[in-house]
């Protein structure tokens, strides 16, 4: 089969999968959809303070072939390899409910945070120290240590979700993607 045919097929299938991703990967739209997620995070944390958790967020760098030209430096992350950022939010079962792929590796901002689309008022997203803490818990000392322990228990689900994804799709996550950097977000999303 000619390479151009394979190229066309891969692009077409990838675009079709990306076009229907919202049927599988979507934020909860109603309180009825959000309630089991919040209950699930409280169960993971083993504490009722997490009944308002609406997801766990994290990101990873996906290694890419360095783009040529002066723009190529924008893709170098803090570890000095070219990458594109995948940011994802998962529910209490490790299912992705939001993904964003496309920022060059040197960018540290979160589109979900900047657009204020999620979480709904009164809820929060669990994150590591790489994300801003918008509501500081009014606790210190031993109480803060216990809070951090519960938080870590609940937030670890996103780490497991990324681990399962990287294990399943090793060709994408263990070596540099050999596709044009403008097509990388579509491949990762698919």
**Beta bridge pairs of residue 69:** none
From edge to edge, which strands make up the β-sheet containing 83-90? 96-104, 83-90, 53-63, 124-126
pLDDT at site 148:
84
Q: Report the alpha-carbon distance of residue 5 to residue 8 in Å, rounded.
A: 5
pLDDT at site 171:
85
Q: Report the alpha-carbon distance of residue 8 to residue 168 in Å, rounded.
A: 24
pLDDT above 90 for 80 = no
Each residue's pLDDT tens digit, 132-181: 776 665 556 656 778 888 989 999 999 999 999 999 999 888 888 888 88
pLDDT at site 122:
86
∠ CA 58-61-63, rounded to 5°: 160
pLDDT at site 109:
56
Average pLDDT taken over every residue of the chain: 86
């Amino acid at each position: 089969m000619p390479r151009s045919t394979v190229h066309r097929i891969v692009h077409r299938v990838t675009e079709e999968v990306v076009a229907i991703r919202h049927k599988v990967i979507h934020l909860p739209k109603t309180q009825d959809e959000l309630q089991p997620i919040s209950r699930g995070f409280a169960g993971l944390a083993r504490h009722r303070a997490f009944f308002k958790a609406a997801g766990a967020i994290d990101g990873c760098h996906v290694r890419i072939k360095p783009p040529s030209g002066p723009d190529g430096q924008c893709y170098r992350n803090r570890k000095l390899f070219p990458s594109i950022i995948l940011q994802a939010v998962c529910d209490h079962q490790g299912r992705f409910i939001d993904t964003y792929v496309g920022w060059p590796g040197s960018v540290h901002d979160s589109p979900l945070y900047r657009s204020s689309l999620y979480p709904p008022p009164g809820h929060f997203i669990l994150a590591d120290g790489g994300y801003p803490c918008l509501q500081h818990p009014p606790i210190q000392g031993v109480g803060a240590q216990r809070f951090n322990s519960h938080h870590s228990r609940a937030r670890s689900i996103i780490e497991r979700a990324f681990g399962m994804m990287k294990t399943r799709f090793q060709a994408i996550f263990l070596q540099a993607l050999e596709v044009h950097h403008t097509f990388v977000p579509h491949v990762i999303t698919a």
